[in-house]
Structure 1
Amino acid sequence: MAGKRNTKTEAKIKAAFTTLAQSKGFDAMTVSDIARTAGINRGTFYMHYIDKFDLRQQLIDDTIDDLTRILIDNSDEGGQSVTSDGRAICDAFKEDSIAKALHYVKDDFAFFDAISHSGNDMQLYDRLKAVLKRLIIAQAQRFGAEPKTNYNGIPADYAMEILVSAVSSIIWLWIRRGCKETPEQICRIIETNKTTAPIDVLW
């Protein structure tokens, strides 16, 4: 992106992208469509983005940056040390931090809905998982937890994948269902999931 950032212009472009992604789809929209809907000329668009693909990527990058700040920065407020067997590692997902992240998503639901139908939905999902992994690692390092090779017989990398995939999938399903539940309700589901074996959900 060239030129000085203009948040007002970028906000208009993001709003136009969101509207067009929902009304005609990402593949069908053009830069001219985006500029016209945003009330700017094509030259102004190109001062900020290379093309519509660059726009989509930068919007995703900005969103991940925001979610990272919400989750990682808030993880330093209080917290619980991690036990030697790693059970308290789940407390890296502090309920208030998750709630703030979910409110961020709900407040900008139109954009998340647009992205989830733009062909890049799995990138956002995978990057959300990466943020959650960073959160767990940051909490463990903060409290001086020793790295472990396995948890209850499960290799550490698989254990990490199980944990972050569960939380990410709950959040992603919530988005795909239209954020019908409140962030607080989703937080309760995530909290319950921490102590519920997968098989117990079905019986």
Structure 2
Amino acid sequence: MAKVDRRIVRTQEAIKKAFLELMSEKNFDSITIQDISDRANINRATVYLHYLDKFDLLDKIMEEHIYNMGNLCELDADMDWIGSTVHCMEYLESNYLFFSTMLTSEGAPYFRSRFVEHNIEEFKKDVDITKGKNLGQSEDVVVEFVANAYVGVVEWWLKNGMPYPPREMAEKVGELLERNL
């Protein structure tokens, strides 16, 4: 496996941080590559060395966070909904700037739909409409309901400055997921 150059990682992190800070301050459409490079204290050409444009930068950041959440929050045989949700809420807390910017502002309105879609795919793995409380239900309806409810609760939690600590929030949300899946 090739060794990653730490300078490249530091530069990319500076670019992402600058971009997210700018998105929390102003509309995505008004952010320029020059704004990003000024905030990151790097040359404009350096941003282009790593990203095609601000749309590519936004896509890469979103994909990175969705991928990370998918890995951290994946429900496995050793974990219940509450345990899985603890990992998710802790990740949301540690990446508050990103998620609060994406979900609570008008910075990137299509992030919400991508986030919902990701959750739909994850919840599909756990829905069983052949028995129990969801017997006879439409899988699509159950999954849409749960994914949109989950994202809505996350939005509420972030908009309100995370009024419950991650573990307590995870317990509340995990219990709701157990009731509905």
Which bracket does the TM-score occupy, shorter chain normalised?
0.7 to 0.9
Gaps of 5+ in 1: 80-90, 198-203
Flag the 1:24–1:187 CA change in 2: closer, same or farther, 3 A: same
My pick for the range that moved more, 49-58 or 159-168, is 159-168
Q: 1:130 and 2:117 equivalent?
A: yes
Deviations 1:171-196 (A, max 9, x none): 12212222232112222321343477
Q: 1:61 and 2:63 equivalent?
A: yes
Distance in 2 of aligned mates of 1:16 and 1:35: 8
Corresponding letter in the other structure for 2:76: D
Q: 1:100 and 2:102 equivalent?
A: no
Q: Is the 8 A contact 1:113 1:176 kept in 2?
A: yes
Once the 2 structures are TM-superposed, how far is the Cα of residue 156 of structure 1 from its aligned partner?
Answer: 2.0
Q: Aligned residue for 2:76?
A: 76
TM-score by length of 1: 0.72
Q: Aligned residue for 1:109?
A: 96
Q: Is the 8 A contact 2:102 2:112 kept in 1?
A: no
Q: Is the 8 A contact 2:62 2:111 kept in 1?
A: yes
Match among 4, 16, 21 for residue 23 of structure 2: 21
Once the 2 structures are TM-superposed, how far is the Cα of residue 152 of structure 1 from its aligned partner?
Answer: 4.1
Q: Name the SS for the 1:76 alignment partner.
A: coil
Q: Is the 8 A contact 2:82 2:175 kept in 1?
A: no
Q: Aligned residue for 1:180?
A: 163
Distance in 1 of aligned mates of 2:178 and 2:12: 43
Q: Name the SS for the 2:29 alignment partner.
A: coil
Once the 2 structures are TM-superposed, how far is the Cα of residue 32 of structure 1 from its aligned partner?
Answer: 0.5
Q: Name the SS for the 1:180 alignment partner.
A: coil
Deviations 1:6-41 (A, max 9, x none): 221110001111221222332222110100110110
Distance in 2 of aligned mates of 1:24 and 1:131: 26
Q: Aligned residue for 1:35?
A: 37
Q: Name the SS for the 2:28 alignment partner.
A: coil
Q: Aligned residue for 1:86?
A: none
TM-score by length of 2: 0.80
Gaps of 5+ in 2: none
Q: Name the SS for the 1:62 alignment partner.
A: helix
Q: Aligned residue for 1:83?
A: none
Q: Aligned residue for 1:87?
A: none
Distance in 1 of aligned mates of 2:27 and 2:107: 9
Q: Aligned residue for 2:108?
A: 120
> Identity over the aligned pairs, expressed in percent?
24
Distance in 1 of aligned mates of 2:60 and 2:95: 16
